[in-house]
Structures are given as C-alpha cells and as structure tokens.
Amino acid sequence: MHRLILWFAAITLLLLAPAAAEPITLKLSHFLGPSSFFQVDFAEVWAKELTERSKGQVKVEIFNGASPYGKVTEQASQVKAGTIDIALGLRGAEGDKFLRSSIIELPFVVPNAAKGSRALWKLNEEGTLGDEYKDYKVLALFVHNPGLVHTKNKRIVLPADLKGVRLRAPNNTVAVALTEIGAVPAVLQVNDVMPAVKDGKIDGIVTNWGNPLQGFNDLMKFHTDIQFYTSAFFVVMNKEKYASLPQEARHELDMISGEALVDRFAAWWDKWDAPVRDGAKQPGHELIVPDAAALAKWREALQPVTDRYLAALAGKGFSNSRAAYDKLAN
C-alpha cells in the first residue's frame, strides 16, 4: 500500500508539473542561394548560435533566395508585414525605403568594409539616419568592400574610357554616378546580371570582388581597381516579434547582433572577396590599378554627381546630408 501511495503521488506531481515551453521559431530570410556565403557563413552560423545561447528556447528557420521569401526586392517589406521575422536585404533593391543610408554608397566614401560598416552603423546609432528604420528592430547595417569596374573586352583606365560602355549598376546611386561620366548603366539585381552579360545586353559589371555571380571570371577579363563605391545592406527584425520574445532570449539575440554582427560582416567580406579576386589573377585577366594622376581624374569626374546627390537628399528631408557626407569622407 505504501508503494502504491508513493506511485500515485509521483504520477500526480508529473501531471501537475508545468509542461516544457515549446521552442519559439523565428523565420529568417535572405536573397542569395542555398550554398551562398550569406547562407553558409551568416544565416546558418548565426541561427545555430542563437539556438545554443538560448538553450533551445529559440530556433531559426532559414529561407534562402530560392524560397518564396527570397526576393531581393521584398526583404524589408515582408519583415514589416510579419510574414518573415528577420531578413538580410540589400538597400538598393528596396527603392527609396532607406534613402538616407544611400549616402554611404557615394563615390570614394568607403575605404574598406570594416570602416564603412562601422560608419554606417554609427550614423544610425547617432540618429543621423532619422526614422527610416522606425518600423524595424535593426540587428545590423553593413557594406561590402569597395566595388570595381569589370569589363569583357575594353580596358578602362580613365573616366573617358567609359563613354558609351553599358554597365550593370547595383543601385540608383551608382547608376547616377556612371551616367555622369558617360557610361550607360542598367540597374540589375544579382540573378539578372550574368544572363545580361551572356545575352550581350551589357559590356561589363560594376561590383565588388566578393560577389555571388556564377561564371564571373569566365567573362570579365579587365578589372579596373578604382574602388569608387559600396552597397549598403541591412539585417532587420519585426519589432513586434522582437518585443514578444522572453527577456532572456532578447538578451541573447542582442549579444550576437548590433556592433558585434556589423564587425563580423566586415571580416566576412574579406573572406568572400578572396576566391573571385584570386581568379582574376589567372592568365587572360588584367588588373588595372590607376596611378595617382588617373585616380584624381576619377575623383574630379565624379564629384559633381556627389554634390547633386547630396542636394537631392536635402530636398527630400535629409537636411544635414552635406554635414553627414563630410564626416564620412574625412
């Protein structure tokens, strides 16, 4: 009888004990493929860290560019709508949604991914970017190492060499700059670039070394290292979803986001650059590094577009755009 009583007591305690909380699943999306560096080095690593740090309280389901959530033009929109909880997106693909952030993309502002990413993050932290991220919890803002001009058949040394050359531009900021010096830009997103090259619709590509373009070095043979622009990226989270997380989970998410994540992206770009840059050292390629005099001509040719762009930003409400630019450029 005594054993029977103990058995009933044990069963009662088990029935009354609170059930273990179900893990919280966060949906994370990005716009590159399932084997891309955004997937392998960022999404999978960051997701695993969050799960481990939260002791299994939070899990992350990843959607890559091949998924219904992978459109490059909709990353921020679907976070705001709540269909995705966290997204890595490209500012230039979002139209004018994050217009103030485009100031980092102007010619010759960013010397490398590390300094540029920290500078963009600081602009947001200091409030210089205003309220353009007000609908989101910002987990990171970052840029890639400066982009170059890559062409199929024509050596580009001076700005005048670009006259009439059809080039892929990654965003409108760069397209305006290219137009200023006589090129014919086409703003194309990642998946549309190489088909345009193969179909003869463009003569070259403006991009950084660390790009996901398949067959890039098979077709691009001249690489003009003027490092004149960058592109801004964001990692944003749905504000309501962030607020709904248990306090401990929010803390762990914060610990692997913000400035820490910004710095990790900067280091990752150096890693992502290496394979394409090394491929361009093979026979049949030429890396063209303009001397000081040629570089001065590039800066002179592109300064007017910077001045006009800053004035346009001021006209759209970014009244201290010139001051922000001067701070970045110095």
Identify the CATH number of the domain in which residue 245 sits: 3.40.190.170
Confidence bin at 18 (pLDDT 50/70/90): very low
Distance between CA atoms of residues 69 and 31, nearest Å: 8
pTM: 0.90
Least confident range from 13-27, 73-87, 170-184, 270-284: namely 13-27
User: 8 lies in a domain?
Assistant: no
CA torsion through residues 309, 222, 111, 42, sign: positive
Kindly list the distances between the CA atom of residue 54 and the CA atoms of 61, 189, 199, 245, 259, in Å, as whole numbers in the listed order. Answer: 15, 36, 49, 11, 20
Note whether 95 and 54 are same-domain residues. yes
Provide the pLDDT for residue 272: 95
In this prediction, residues 308-319 reach a mean pLDDT of 95
Note whether 97 and 121 are same-domain residues. yes
| Pick from 103, 116, 180: nearest CA to 146 | 116
Least confident range from 15-24, 123-132, 159-168, 259-268: namely 15-24
> Quick check: 143 and 110 in contact, CB under 8 A?
yes
Judged against a pLDDT cut of 60, whether residue 9 lies above it is answered with: no
Note whether 121 and 49 are same-domain residues. yes
| Pick from 208, 193, 171: nearest CA to 97 | 171
User: 242 lies in a domain?
Assistant: yes
Structure tokens at 263: 């710095």
Judged against a pLDDT cut of 50, whether residue 14 lies above it is answered with: no
User: 13 lies in a domain?
Assistant: no
* More confident: 189 or 321: 321
User: 16 lies in a domain?
Assistant: no
CA atoms within a 13 Å half-sphere pointing along the CA-CB vector of 92? 24
| Pick from 237, 37, 235: nearest CA to 142 | 235
User: 6 lies in a domain?
Assistant: no
**Hey, is 17 helix, strand or coil?**
coil
Note whether 102 and 240 are same-domain residues. yes
> Quick check: 31 and 94 in contact, CB under 8 A?
no
Note whether 139 and 169 are same-domain residues. no
User: Among all chains, which residue has been given the structure tokens 């392998």?
Assistant: 40
Q: Position 290: which residue type?
A: P
Distance between CA atoms of residues 181 and 168, nearest Å: 14
Provide the pLDDT for residue 240: 98
Provide the pLDDT for residue 3: 55
User: 325 lies in a domain?
Assistant: yes
Note whether 310 and 221 are same-domain residues. yes
Range of the domain at 192: 148-230+286-329
Note whether 244 and 308 are same-domain residues. no
Provide the pLDDT for residue 13: 44
What is the radius of gyration, based on Cα positions, of the chain? 24
User: 162 lies in a domain?
Assistant: yes
- The total number of structural domains in the chain stands at 2
| Pick from 325, 113, 311: nearest CA to 227 | 113
Number of other residues whose CB lies within 10 A of the CB of residue 302: 22
User: 220 lies in a domain?
Assistant: yes
Distance between CA atoms of residues 81 and 236, nearest Å: 12
Output DSSP code: residue 223: E
Kindly list the distances between the CA atom of residue 31 and the CA atoms of 117, 159, 278, 327, in Å, as whole numbers in the listed order. Answer: 20, 32, 25, 32
Note whether 34 and 110 are same-domain residues. yes
> Quick check: 67 and 27 in contact, CB under 8 A?
no
